[in-house]
Structure 1
Amino acid sequence: MQSIEAIELNRLVIHAIHNMADEPDIADSEEALSEGLRHFFEEHIRNCIKSSSARTAKFNGSNATVSSCASKIIDTPEDFVEQCRVIGLWFGHRMERSCEARTFLAVGLFTDSDTEDRYLALLKMDPVKAFVRRQNAKTAFEQIQILPDPSRQLFRYAIARPYHDESRYDTIYRNQPASKDEDPETAAMWLEAFLEASEVATPRQMTQLVVNETEKWIQANEDQIDEEEAAKLRNAVKATAQTEQMDVEMIASVVIADEAKREEYIGRLLDKGLTETSFVPDRDWAERASRKTTYVCDDGVKITGPSDAIDDVVQILPKTPDRKTRLVIETRKFQQK
Structure 2
Amino acid sequence: MEYINEVNLNEAVVHVLDNNADEPIYNEFMLELSDETYEFILKHIQKCLKSEELKYAIFNDGQNSIKEFSKNYLNDKGDFLSISKKIAKQLFVIMESHGNIPSCDLMIVSISTEYGPILALLKMDYVKNFTHSIGSCDNKIGIDIVPQFVGLPSGGQLIQKCAFIKQVIPENKFDLMIIDKQNRRDSEDYEINYFTSNFLGCSIIENERDATSNFIKVAENWTRSNLKDNAEAAEMVRTAVKKKLQEEDNIFVNRFANEVFKESKDVAENFLQYAKERGITENVPIDKEYVDKKLKRIRLKIDKDMDVYIDRDTYDDKSKFEVIRNGDGTINIVLKHIKNYIEK
| 1:280 corresponds to | 286
| 1:241 corresponds to | 245
Q: Which of residues 147, 171, 177 in structure 1 aligns to 2:152? A: 147
| 1:72 corresponds to | 72
Asked if 2 retains the 8 angstrom alpha-carbon contact of 1:20 and 1:101, the reply is no
**How many equivalent residue pairs?**
295
| 2:125 corresponds to | 126
Give the direction of change, closer, same or farther, for the CA distance of 1:192–1:287 in structure 2 (3 Å limit): same
CA offset digits 1:57-110 (Å, max 9, x no partner): 222148422222222222217532222122111111111214035211101010
SS in 1 for 2:185: coil
Aligned counterparts of 1:233 and 1:220: Cα–Cα separation in 2? 13
| 1:26 corresponds to | 26
| 2:276 corresponds to | 270
SS in 2 for 1:124: strand
Asked if 2 retains the 8 angstrom alpha-carbon contact of 1:175 and 1:191, the reply is yes
Letter of the structure 1 residue corresponding to residue 244 of structure 2: T
Aligned counterparts of 2:78 and 2:290: Cα–Cα separation in 1? 37
SS in 1 for 2:109: strand
| 2:325 corresponds to | none
Asked if 1 retains the 8 angstrom alpha-carbon contact of 2:209 and 2:286, the reply is no
Aligned counterparts of 1:191 and 1:306: Cα–Cα separation in 2? 38
CA offset digits 1:267-292 (Å, max 9, x no partner): 43221022562313354346534624
Asked if 1 retains the 8 angstrom alpha-carbon contact of 2:7 and 2:112, the reply is yes
| 2:297 corresponds to | 291
Is the deviation greater in 44-53 or in 99-108? 99-108
CA offset digits 1:146-177 (Å, max 9, x no partner): 32211122111122213455544332222223
Aligned counterparts of 1:158 and 1:79: Cα–Cα separation in 2? 20
| 1:99 corresponds to | 100
1:17 positional shift: 0.8
SS in 2 for 1:192: helix
State the TM-score, normalizing by the size of structure 2.
0.71
Asked if 2 retains the 8 angstrom alpha-carbon contact of 1:98 and 1:186, the reply is no
Aligned counterparts of 2:104 and 2:180: Cα–Cα separation in 1? 15
What aligned pairs does 1:65-214 form with structure 2 within 5 A after superposition?
Answer: 65-76=65-76, 79-96=79-96, 97-100=98-101, 102-112=103-113, 115=114, 117-132=116-131, 140=143, 144=148, 145-164=150-169, 167-178=172-183, 180-183=185-188, 185-214=190-219
Aligned counterparts of 2:227 and 2:92: Cα–Cα separation in 1? 54
Greater C-alpha radius of gyration = 2
1:32 positional shift: 2.1
Q: Which runs of 5+ in 1 are unaligned?
A: 295-302, 308-337
1:130 positional shift: 3.6
Higher strand share: 2
Give the direction of change, closer, same or farther, for the CA distance of 1:287–1:177 in structure 2 (3 Å limit): closer
Aligned counterparts of 1:235 and 1:7: Cα–Cα separation in 2? 37
1:131 positional shift: 4.5
Is the deviation greater in 52-61 or in 31-40? 52-61
State the TM-score, normalizing by the size of structure 1.
0.72
Letter of the structure 1 residue corresponding to residue 216 of structure 2: V
Q: Which runs of 5+ in 2 are unaligned?
A: 301-306, 312-344
SS in 2 for 1:249: helix
SS in 1 for 2:218: helix
RMSD: 3.7
Asked if 2 retains the 8 angstrom alpha-carbon contact of 1:2 and 1:50, the reply is no
Aligned counterparts of 2:55 and 2:121: Cα–Cα separation in 1? 14
Asked if 1 retains the 8 angstrom alpha-carbon contact of 2:250 and 2:283, the reply is no
Give the direction of change, closer, same or farther, for the CA distance of 1:219–1:74 in structure 2 (3 Å limit): same
SS in 2 for 1:185: coil
Identity of aligned residues (%): 23
